[in-house]
Amino acid sequence: MTTDYSESFKKFHLGCGIIFLKNYLNIGFWTNLEQDKLYENPNGVQDTVLLNFDLTHGIPASDNSLDVVYHSHMLEHLTNTEGIQFLKECNRVLKPGATMRLLVPDLGTFSKKYMEEDDFFFDAYRKEALSDDRLLYPTRGTVFMGMLHNHGHKMGYDYETVNHILNQTGFTNVRKTMFQESALSDIQEIEPYAPLRAAESLCVECIKSAQ
């Protein structure tokens, strides 16, 4: 039986990778770590907690229990159907009126930059995200496809798609924001500025419907 962590934590950071936020339960999954185990101060980051947990099994929290759900560049690692189920789970665990914020690579931005022949954007992405491999990714098209298909990505999102799915999964007040623009008071801490991440990201905030 999965442990319910919502009594100890009211803010969850899902698909955290190696980014550990204070005052959040950071949830990621590594096969070399013990399943469903808490690790304090992972990687020496003080006052943080990591839960090693496979989120394809659901979110380890009770219904209507969380104040905030945050996930950044996690949703695209799920298939379309897995992503819809995951967002339904996010809705389930949030309190009515509570906030979810998500970031994904912005398919709209990549498409726009591709049509504009923006070499600066694609060169920056190649350098930061594709090991600056100019033999394998020599063109804007190969870099674009590298974003879509590398890093375990299984789905691409633009705002129209995200807005539709969020409305279908019980969220309201869906809005596109800038990087670090949020109703969350701790946004500067949870989303430290990184130029490429800011340029490539679709940032969306929404609340769980009170109905």
Tokens of 10: 């009211």
Q: Are residues 118 and 47 in the same domain?
A: no
Supply the range of the domain harboring residue 16.
Answer: 11-106+157-208
Bridge partners, residue 175, by sequence: 205
Q: Are residues 82 and 121 in the same domain?
A: no
Q: Are residues 111 and 198 in the same domain?
A: no
> Does a structural domain hold residue 204?
yes
For 81, 127, 130, 138, the CA distances from 14, given in Å and listed in that order, are 18, 27, 24, 34
Q: Are residues 114 and 183 in the same domain?
A: no
Place of tokens 């809705």: 91
- pLDDT for 168 equals 97
Q: How many domains does the chain have?
A: 2
- pLDDT for 43 equals 84
Q: Are residues 66 and 101 in the same domain?
A: yes
- Specify the CATH number for the domain of residue 52: 3.40.50.150
- pLDDT for 140 equals 98
> Does a structural domain hold residue 1?
no
Strand order in the sheet with 66-72: 37-40, 49-52, 25-28, 11-14, 66-72, 94-105, 201-208, 171-177
- pLDDT for 1 equals 57
> Does a structural domain hold residue 173?
yes
- pLDDT for 177 equals 98
170 with 93: CB under 8 angstroms?
Answer: no
Per-residue burial over 173-183, b = 16 or more CB atoms within 10 Å of its CB, e = otherwise: ebeeeebeebe
For 6, 89, 131, 143, 146, the CA distances from 134, given in Å and listed in that order, are 46, 40, 9, 9, 12
Q: Are residues 39 and 141 in the same domain?
A: no
Q: Are residues 89 and 33 in the same domain?
A: yes
Q: Are residues 85 and 133 in the same domain?
A: no
> Does a structural domain hold residue 76?
yes
Q: Are residues 54 and 95 in the same domain?
A: yes
Q: Are residues 97 and 200 in the same domain?
A: yes
User: 53: Cβ–Cβ under 8 A, 6 or more apart, which residues?
Assistant: 27, 28, 29, 35, 36, 60
> What is the DSSP code (8-state) at residue 78?
S
Q: Are residues 17 and 112 in the same domain?
A: no
Q: How many helices (H) and strands (E) does the chain have?
A: 7, 8
Cα(69)–Cα(102) distance, integer angstroms: 8
> Does a structural domain hold residue 6?
no
Residue-by-residue pLDDT tens, the chain, 211 positions: 578 999 999 999 999 999 999 999 999 999 999 999 999 999 888 899 999 999 999 999 999 999 999 999 999 999 999 999 999 999 999 999 999 999 999 999 999 999 999 999 999 999 999 999 999 999 999 999 999 999 999 999 999 999 999 999 999 999 999 999 999 999 999 999 999 999 999 999 999 998 6
Q: Are residues 79 and 16 in the same domain?
A: yes
